[in-house]
């Protein structure tokens, strides 16, 4: 295989474990091919400095980043990516801000990425573009003459056609996907939405399984559910920092059953709904009072987008009222922390918990669900309560699947989880672990890159120029 070039909004140093997830997944193949990882530096600078590319070597891997001007940060990052695409792709049209000015910035930054990346490219490179910030990148690269194989993976859900169609310029976005050789989604549901959209809105013809023809081009598309590195996570679970965390939690909560939630503070994660379900549990089942404690970690995220401040206040108010109404002098039902937990300590927290509440309203995959399972003691594992609207629910059928909008039935599932006998916990856990091991993050990476190597792009003629 040629050299791998990864492009994503933010990049991570693959040598650092703290980077986690994607960096761990891509490290092997980036190292093996002496790859390049290109993205935004995270810095906002004066417009005049935007042209510089910062390059550093991380072992065999080259890391290249560009800065953004304040105007581009506002319209590309805050505006279009996180004010339009993120909410709409998570089915939240009510939270989208369709400001006509944003799309220009979105396109400008994709053009900037294309222009800055181009001089680094070699003829047999394989380019892998990640996520919603960079949908038009391949089209912009093609317009500059790039003929390399390019794949795209969407980490977040793709909504049903009629929701997607609410975005002004939605046809432009989907057309841009046809500049890729392969487009990957997290779940079959997302792939079906893509097929539905291109067949109804763009009158695409399904050419054969996994290929569609529209806009005079053919694109391959498939579902590649992202996994975790089970081995790496098991090692992390057995390492000192996680073990210390586990011991501390076990001592602190020796008389309680611990429930845990770990999320970015994002409206897609269903945090207020989760709190309402927990309140329902306490209200309806007095025996759970004093015996169950919920630790909710919500890491700060995109705090300069207003919808995020609203969710923060709602969550704080709910936690306060639950503790106020149900708390005792020696027991607080909810411990809510608005911060990150170090990656090395997370598995200890997961392992000490009897139940994990992973109840997003919509989620591309949700890796916390998978990490929780991997951190459990197989002889005495905890129970996963999982939203049916997380991509992970397609795979983890032995979790207790819930509708997070329905607080009564979610509360009933939490009760079931707290009372589940050990044999049933073991059987469910073992079956889900088998699937996690089989479809781990290395499978994801290999499967996507193998499909990209097989994908035959057609008709890369001058029509690429007309985005």
Q: Show which residues are catalytic.
A: 155, 363
Regarding 463 and contact with ligand ADQ (CB under 6 A), the answer is: no
The least distance separating ligand ADQ from the CB of residue 339, rounded to whole angstroms, comes to 7
Regarding 155 and contact with ligand ADQ (CB under 6 A), the answer is: yes
Binding test (CB under 6 A) with ligand ADQ, winner from 21, 160, 169, 210: 21
Q: How far apart are CA 138 and CA 451, in angstroms?
A: 17
* 338, two tokens: 């608005």
Phi, psi of 214 (to 5 degrees): -155, 165
Nearer to ligand ADQ, 132 or 178 (CB): 132
Site pattern 176..215 for ligand ADQ (x: CB under 6 A): ----------------------------------------
Regarding 27 and contact with ligand ADQ (CB under 6 A), the answer is: no
The least distance separating ligand ADQ from the CB of residue 260, rounded to whole angstroms, comes to 11
Nearer to ligand ADQ, 33 or 340 (CB): 340
- Contact (Cβ atoms closer than 8 angstroms) between residue 67 and residue 45: yes
Distances from the Cα of 168 to the Cα of 87, 96, 101, 416, angstroms: 14, 11, 11, 45
Binding test (CB under 6 A) with ligand ADQ, winner from 187, 237, 293, 366: 366
Regarding 229 and contact with ligand ADQ (CB under 6 A), the answer is: no
The least distance separating ligand ADQ from the CB of residue 447, rounded to whole angstroms, comes to 14
The least distance separating ligand ADQ from the CB of residue 264, rounded to whole angstroms, comes to 5
Nearer to ligand ADQ, 85 or 146 (CB): 85
Regarding 232 and contact with ligand ADQ (CB under 6 A), the answer is: no
Nearer to ligand ADQ, 367 or 457 (CB): 367
Q: How far apart are CA 53 and CA 48, in angstroms?
A: 13
Regarding 375 and contact with ligand ADQ (CB under 6 A), the answer is: no
Contacts of 42 (CB under 8 A, 6+ apart): 10, 65
Phi, psi of 187 (to 5 degrees): -140, 165
Binding test (CB under 6 A) with ligand ADQ, winner from 222, 364, 381, 382: 364
Regarding 274 and contact with ligand ADQ (CB under 6 A), the answer is: no
Q: How far apart are CA 343 and CA 347, in angstroms?
A: 8
Considering only residues 245 through 264, tell me which ones interact with ligand ADQ, judged by CB under 6 A: 262-264
Regarding 156 and contact with ligand ADQ (CB under 6 A), the answer is: yes
Binding test (CB under 6 A) with ligand ADQ, winner from 6, 150, 367, 396: 367
Q: What is the DSSP letter of 93?
A: G
Helix (H, G, I), strand (E, B) or coil at 33: helix
- Among candidate residues 379, 354, 359, 377, the one with its CA nearest the CA of residue 369: 359
Binding test (CB under 6 A) with ligand ADQ, winner from 20, 39, 159, 348: 20
Q: What is the full DSSP assignment across 3-17?
A: -EEEEEEE---TT-G
Sheet holding 355-358, edge to edge: 334-337, 292-299, 257-264, 355-358, 383-387, 400-402
Regarding 333 and contact with ligand ADQ (CB under 6 A), the answer is: no
* 293, two tokens: 């404690």
**CA 2 centroid distance within chain:** 27
The least distance separating ligand ADQ from the CB of residue 185, rounded to whole angstroms, comes to 11
- Contact (Cβ atoms closer than 8 angstroms) between residue 76 and residue 50: no
- Which listed range, 317-325, 366-374, 402-410, 458-466, lies at the site for ligand ADQ (CB under 6 A)? 366-374
Nearer to ligand ADQ, 159 or 364 (CB): 364
Beta strand residue intervals within 80-234, DSSP E: 126-130, 149-153, 182-185, 205-208, 211-214, 217-223
| Residues making contact with ligand ADQ (CB under 6 A) | 20-21, 155-156, 226, 262-264, 297-299, 340-341, 346, 363-368, 371
């Amino acid at each position: 295989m040629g050299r791998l070039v990864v492009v994503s909004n933010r990049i991570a140093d693959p040598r650092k474990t703290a980077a986690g997830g994607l960096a761990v997944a891509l490290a092997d193949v980036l190292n093996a091919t002496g790859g390049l990882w290109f993205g935004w530096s995270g810095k906002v600078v004066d417009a005049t400095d935007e042209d510089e590319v910062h390059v550093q070597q991380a072992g065999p891997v080259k890391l290249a980043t560009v800065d953004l001007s304040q105007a581009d940060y506002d319209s590309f990052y805050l505006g279009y990516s996180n004010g339009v695409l993120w909410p709409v792709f998570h089915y939240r049209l009510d939270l989208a801000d369709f400001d006509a000015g944003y799309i220009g910035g979105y396109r400008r930054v994709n053009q900037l990425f294309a222009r800055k990346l181009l001089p680094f490219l070699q003829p047999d490179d394989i380019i892998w573009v990640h996520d919603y910030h960079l949908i038009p990148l391949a089209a912009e690269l093609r317009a500059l003459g790039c003929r390399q194989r390019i794949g795209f993976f969407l980490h977040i859900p793709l909504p049903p056609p009629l929701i997607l169609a609410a975005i002004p310029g939605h046809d432009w976005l989907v057309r841009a996907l046809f500049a890729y050789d392969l487009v990957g989604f997290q779940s079959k549901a997302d792939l079906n939405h893509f097929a539905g959209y291109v067949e109804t809105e763009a009158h695409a013809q399904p050419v054969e399984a996994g290929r569609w023809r529209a806009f005079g081009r053919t694109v391959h598309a498939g579902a590649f559910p992202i996994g975790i590195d089970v081995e790496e996570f098991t090692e992390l679970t057995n390492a000192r920092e996680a073990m210390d965390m586990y011991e501390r939690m076990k001592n602190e909560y020796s008389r309680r059953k611990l429930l845990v939630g770990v999320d970015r503070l994002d409206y897609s994660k269903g945090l207020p709904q989760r709190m309402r379900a927990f309140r329902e549990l306490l209200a309806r089942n007095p025996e759970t009072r004093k015996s169950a404690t919920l630790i909710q970690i919500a890491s700060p995220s995109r705090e300069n987008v207003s919808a995020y401040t609203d969710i923060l206040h709602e969550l704080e108010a709910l936690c306060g009222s639950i503790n106020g109404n149900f708390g005792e002098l020696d027991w607080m039902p909810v411990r809510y922390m608005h911060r990150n937990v170090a990656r090395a300590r997370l598995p200890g927290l997961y392992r000490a918990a009897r139940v994990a509440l992973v109840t997003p309203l919509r989620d591309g995959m949700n890796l916390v669900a998978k990490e929780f399972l991997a951190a459990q003691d197989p002889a005495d594992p905890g129970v996963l309560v999982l939203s049916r609207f997380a991509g992970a629910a397609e795979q983890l059928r032995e979790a207790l699947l819930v509708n997070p909008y329905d607080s009564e039935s979610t509360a009933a599932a939490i009760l079931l989880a707290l009372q589940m006998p050990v044999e049933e916990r073991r059987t469910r856990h073992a079956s889900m672990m088998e699937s996690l091991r089989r479809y781990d993050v290395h499978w994801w990476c290999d499967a996507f890159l193998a499909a990209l190597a097989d994908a035959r792009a057609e008709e890369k003629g001058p029509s690429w120029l007309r985005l």
